[in-house]
Amino acid sequence: MPANFKNEDTDVKVESLLSAMSLDQKIGQMTQPERLSITPEEVRTFHIGSVLSGGGSCPGDNYPADWVDMNDAYWMASMTASDEQLAIPLLYGVDAIHGHANVLGATVFPHNIGLGASDDPELIERIGRATAREVLATGVDWTFAPTLAVARNDQWGRTYESFSEDPSIVTRYADRMVNGLQADLGEEAVIACAKHWVGDGGTLNGMDQGETKLSFEEMERLHIAPYVPAIKAGVLTVMVSFNSWNGDKCHGHNQLVTDVLKGRLGFEGFVISDWDGVDYLAEDYSEAIALSVNAGVDMFMVSVEWRTFIEHLKKHVVDGTVPIERINDAVRRILRVKVQFGLFDKPRPAQRSGSNSPCFGAREHRELAREAVRKSLVLLKNEQGLLPLSKQSRILVAGRNADNRGAQCGGFTVEWQGTVGNTAIEDGTSIWEGISSAAPAAELSIDGRAADAERHDVAIVVIGENPYAEGMGDIRSSDDLIVEAGSMIKGKIKVLEAYGSTLELARLHPQDLETMATISRQGIPVVCVLVSGRPLVVNAELARSRAFVAAWLPGSEGDGVSDVLFGDFDFQGRLSFSWPKHGEQHPNIGDPVYDPLFEYGYGLRYGP
């Protein structure tokens, strides 16, 4: 059963809590600091409503028990009642955006771009459910997922968080992921968060946190559409986006947050800001806070400056710049979510049945992730039926990303920006490990120098991108673009150092092509497996390969790749992103002039 916001019992409970709360306690409920800048004692003193872990911010040794202990301490602090303090359980939030990948030993699922290629809504729901179980195993209640971005320009560093360039797949997945995560608000439920509202994937030049210039009709068709099924499915929270729309930032956008999201779409959960998102609304921090609260944002992710935030907001209420009705509305929404989710009925995290569950990183979840990998691979080229390979053939495996679980997992894995190599991704398999367990005679030579036509029948070369997250993954042809964006956007802009200046892999990572050349010069046929968060311009690499597979960011279960290369399973994936011919082309299905290298929906198979 989806969340039922029209529940009388909930209303009675919420109203009775609200009427007993002081202004301090109300403002505390609206505040979400980052764990590194708040102690349990401060949670109690300031009546804090929620704490989060930013990407890579992990307690203790970063195993589930460390997380349970941490959240237990925060929760206990929030539940210490006194004359000034009403016991209101704290919500803990994390980015479990492709499994609970911040935590060591988690099952890491393919990033959304790969799931989009699988075009399998039922799979999405099962992944949501497995992710929820792993989140619960760490005593955590809330994940900032699903991302419902419709990425329209592959230069965007968050393209891999998007299921598709076309709203149709994102729309078909939105409710399934919410249902998977929120699990009828029963024992296996965590709170989902649809993000980032709205137009995050539509920015000019794909600049993260940039400017989306569209008519309302286009905004609705492309970027608002996926939120409709998510809200129908009862998604309990929505995160506002850093981007601006026609010059005005979403964090201060009354029309988008209050009129459209809460009004027209009828969203009754609460709206959370993005990480310090309020900071960029105006030069003056205090003014920015009033703008955002009055626009309809209910809870504020304020990583470090939460005390200043609280002081300013209180002053605004006393001065009347922010009406108390707005505060009451925000707190009512937050409490409603807590009540609907059953947070008041749950025991402390250390005593919850899901906490420290052996399901965390368990075989069953890894099998599901492996299935998702198999289904997400897209076969772009297969000359003379080079694939599937025989497990008996003499195989050379090469390439920077061949034995690199970190690169396979991409950003938002253990660290915000992800990790390189195998160490931090416990218990999974690299693509090489998958191949070598299926074909024990296979040989690994990362730079391909061991290639020998006498000894090798075929080579599998695994190349692509290094991990990145958010703006650090942007491709920006020139820094002039920052100035251009700044001239269009009201408020401040925050731009991170870009990943590169081109989508062309041969220029981004020239060593990949060298590895391929070293091998193909010997006359050994090459199967190329591309590990990347987006389609890249790979004309040169395609020319060097007899077969070419887009593997996206498959996550911890690299053996899903060998399952398909050896023909134990057929390819199922189809492009949910159009593949560009050159770096200046950013094709999207439905464009008036549409001439990509591989069209949306393209994908070869072994069978009919």
Residue 303 Cβ vs ligand BGC, minimum distance, rounded to whole Å: 9
CB closer to ligand BGC out of 55 and 473: 55
Q: Burial-class residue 2 by CB neighbours within 10 Å (0-12, 13-18, 19+).
A: middle
Check binding of 54 to ligand BGC (CB under 6 A): yes
Residue 343 Cβ vs ligand BGC, minimum distance, rounded to whole Å: 20
Residue 157 Cβ vs ligand BGC, minimum distance, rounded to whole Å: 11
Binding mask 191-230 for ligand BGC (x = CB under 6 A): ----x-----------------------------------
CB closer to ligand BGC out of 32 and 436: 32
Q: Which of 154, 166, 248, 274 is catalytic?
A: 274
Check binding of 144 to ligand BGC (CB under 6 A): yes
Residue 196 Cβ vs ligand BGC, minimum distance, rounded to whole Å: 6
CB atoms within 10 A of CB 424: 16
Q: Which of 313, 312, 309, 314 is nearest to 276 (CA)?
A: 309
Q: Give the tokens for residue 383.
A: 């000359």
CB under 8 Å, gap of 24 or more: what pairs does 595-600 form? 597/539, 598/380, 599/575, 600/165, 600/166, 600/575, 600/576
Number of residues located near ligand BGC, criterion CB under 6 A = 8
DSSP 1: -
329 is known as an active-site residue? no
CB closer to ligand BGC out of 125 and 470: 470
Check binding of 92 to ligand BGC (CB under 6 A): no
| Helix (H) or strand (E) segment spanning residue 528 | strand 526-531
Q: Which of 175, 470, 541, 563 is catalytic?
A: 470
Check binding of 55 to ligand BGC (CB under 6 A): yes
CB closer to ligand BGC out of 93 and 560: 93
Alpha helices, DSSP H, located in 431-588:
431-438, 480-488, 505-508, 510-520, 539-543, 559-565
**Dihedrals phi, psi of 381, to nearest 5 degrees:** -155, 140
Q: How far apart are CA 130 and CA 370, in angstroms?
A: 13
CB closer to ligand BGC out of 192 and 373: 192
Candidate residues 26, 90, 92, 95; the one interacting with ligand BGC per rule CB under 6 A: 95
Q: How far apart are CA 410 and CA 307, in angstroms?
A: 34
Q: Identify the three-state secondary structure at position 299.
A: strand
CB closer to ligand BGC out of 2 and 54: 54
Tell me, letter by letter, the H, E, C secondary structure of 327-392.
HHHHHHHHHHHHHHCCHHHCCCHHHCCCCCCCCCCCHHHHHHHHHHHHHHCEEEEEHHHCCCCCCC
CB closer to ligand BGC out of 75 and 416: 416
274 is known as an active-site residue? yes
Binding mask 390-429 for ligand BGC (x = CB under 6 A): ----------------------------------------
Residue 259 Cβ vs ligand BGC, minimum distance, rounded to whole Å: 24
Binding mask 527-566 for ligand BGC (x = CB under 6 A): ----------------------------------------
With contact defined as beta carbons under 8 Å apart, do 534 and 92 qualify?
no
Binding residues among 102-131 for ligand BGC as defined by CB under 6 A: none
CB atoms within 10 A of CB 224: 22
Binding mask 249-288 for ligand BGC (x = CB under 6 A): -------------------------xx-------------
With contact defined as beta carbons under 8 Å apart, do 237 and 300 qualify?
no
Integer CA distances (angstroms), 14 to 43, 78, 90, 333, 553, in order: 21, 17, 15, 9, 43
Residue 276 Cβ vs ligand BGC, minimum distance, rounded to whole Å: 8
Residue 94 Cβ vs ligand BGC, minimum distance, rounded to whole Å: 8
Q: Give the tokens for residue 120.
A: 């399998």
CB closer to ligand BGC out of 197 and 275: 275
With contact defined as beta carbons under 8 Å apart, do 471 and 260 qualify?
no
Check binding of 141 to ligand BGC (CB under 6 A): no
Residues annotated as catalytic are: 274, 470
Residues of the shown chain interacting with ligand BGC in the complex, contacts defined by CB under 6 A = 54-55, 95, 144, 195, 274-275, 470
